[in-house]
Amino acid sequence: MTELDAVLFANEAFYRAFADRDAGAMAEVWADDLPLSCIHPGWGLLEGRDEVLQSWEAILGNPDSPAIGCLAAKAHLRGEMAYVHCFEEIDGNYLIATNIFVHEGKRWRLVHHQAGPTAEDPPLETKDEGGLIN
C-alpha cells in the first residue's frame, strides 16, 4: 500500500464511522496527541479533542442526521501531513470537504475536517500527481 493509499484509507475510515454512526470508530480516526479542529457546515470553529469529539457524538447520536457518502476523494501528500479534498453527498445534495491528516505513530490520523456548500457536482474521477485517486 502506498502512502497515498494509506491516506485515502484513513479518509474512508472517517466516512465509514460517519455512515455507521459509530462514535468509537470516529474517535479512533482523530489524532490523540495533536491539536484538533473541525468546522461543520453552518457551525463555528471547534477546537480541541474533547470539543471536536463531543460534536461528532451529538451528530452520530441524532437519529435525524442524514446519511452521508464520500465521492471523488483526491489525496495530496506533503511529508508527514496529507490532505484530502472530496465531495460529501447528503440526500442528493453535495458539500465539498477538506480533511487534513498527520502521521501519528504508524497511522494517518485526522486533525482537521471542514465541509461546506458547493455549487459543483463531483467529477466522475479525479487525477492526482500520484495517479488515479478514486
Please report, for the domain that includes residue 79, its CATH number.
3.10.450.50
Nearest to 20 by CA among 49, 56, 48: 56
The C-alpha atoms of residue 99 and residue 109 are separated, in whole angstroms, by 10
pLDDT tens per residue, range 49-70: 999 999 999 999 999 998 999 9
Strand 107-117 relative to strand 37-39, pairing: parallel
Looking at every residue in the chain, the average pLDDT score rounds to: 92
Question: CB–CB of 103/32 below 8 Å?
Answer: no
**What cell does 113 get?**
475536517
Structural domains of the chain, count: 1
The C-alpha atoms of residue 130 and residue 24 are separated, in whole angstroms, by 32
pTM above threshold 0.85: yes
Q: Rg of the chain over CA atoms, in angstroms? A: 14
pLDDT tens per residue, range 5-43: 999 999 999 999 999 999 999 999 999 999 999 999 999
Task: Show the domain range for 29.
Answer: 3-132
